[in-house]
Chain A
Amino acid sequence: GAVVSQHPSWVICKSGTSVKIECRSLDFQATTMFWYRQFPKQSLMLMATSNEGSKATYEQGVEKDKFLINHASLTLSTLTVTSAHPEDSSFYICSAVNSGANVLTFGAGSRLTVL
């Protein structure tokens, strides 16, 4: 079945540094990927839609300069949290559209802790 790999699964960084999270579709091509943020005991909040070869579409209230998204190939999208602060600590989840199966496939998530 379709697999989406997300790396790293855990990351701890100092305040002010930048962190990159990768999302890869392993056995299918994904022209569209989504990045979500999940706060403890809450639902997933869509941050942005990542489109291969074009700029990402950000949801209202999400700072595009803070959360840089790059989708340079059909199997890879990256989310970079720039100048991270403790309030950016969260669980970030990516998903990719597997158009053949008409299903969104999710990565395992990346837990970011900013000290």
Chain B
Amino acid sequence: AQSVAQPEDQVNVAEGNPLTVKCTYSVSGNPYLFWYVQYPNRGLQFLLKYITGDNLVKGSYGFEAEFNKSQTSFHLKKPSALVSDSALYFCAVREDGANNLFFGTGTRLTVIP
């Protein structure tokens, strides 16, 4: 069975500081990992994905994530946070051969001016 854990419901960070949103996963076989962002009353927007290859994945809006197989983690990072980054972030995993994503519970990021 697959699962995704986002241990922090809320992350606060000052503007200009680096941010990290944590995600760990459990899946049979090779993981396909994704980060999505959701703004109020909007659908999800794709940020980045890890399928294979380099462990450090770069995505939209300056975000990146590092796949760590030994720690089964896929933390989302950004070197310098912007107020406009404030949103709800979802980590998701997909099993090899499946189409559907299994989502974490989400982490609300607030960037303080």
Interface residues of A (CB under 8 A from B): 4, 6, 32, 34, 42-44, 46, 49, 91, 93, 95, 97, 102-109, 111
B44 at the interface (CB under 8 A from A): yes
* CB nearest to B94 among chain A residues: A104
Cβ-defined partner of B105 (8 Å) among A43, A103, A104: A43
Asked if B41 CB lies within 8 Å of chain A CBs, one says: yes
Measured between C-beta atoms, what is the minimum distance from A22 to chain B in Å? 14
Q: Which residues of A contact B42 (CB under 8 A)?
A: 108-109
Interface size grouping (class) on chain B: 10 to 19
List B residues 57-113 near A (Cβ within 8 Å). 90, 99-101, 103-106
Known contacts A106-B36, A109-B41, A111-B41; A43 and B103 CB within 8 A of each other: yes
Residues of the A chain whose Cβ atoms lie less than 8 Å from the Cβ of B14: none
Decide: A43 near B104, CB < 8 A? Known: A93-B44, A102-B49, A106-B36.
yes
Task: State how many angstroms separate the Cβ of A27 from the closest Cβ of chain B.
Answer: 15
Can you list 30 A-B contacts with CB-CB less than 8 angstroms, sorted by A residue number? Answer: A4-B43, A6-B43, A32-B99, A34-B99, A34-B100, A42-B105, A42-B106, A43-B90, A43-B104, A43-B106, A44-B44, A44-B103, A46-B100, A49-B99, A49-B100, A93-B43, A93-B44, A95-B44, A95-B101, A97-B99, A102-B49, A104-B46, A104-B99, A105-B46, A106-B46, A107-B43, A108-B42, A109-B41, A109-B42, A111-B41
Complex contacts, B36 vs chain A, CB 8 Å: 106
State the CA gap A102–B99 with chains docked (Å).
9
Chain B residues near A91 (CB-CB < 8 A)? 41
B residues less than 8 Å from A4 (CB atoms): 43
CB distance from B3 to the nearest CB of A (A): 12
A108 to B44, CA, bound (A): 7
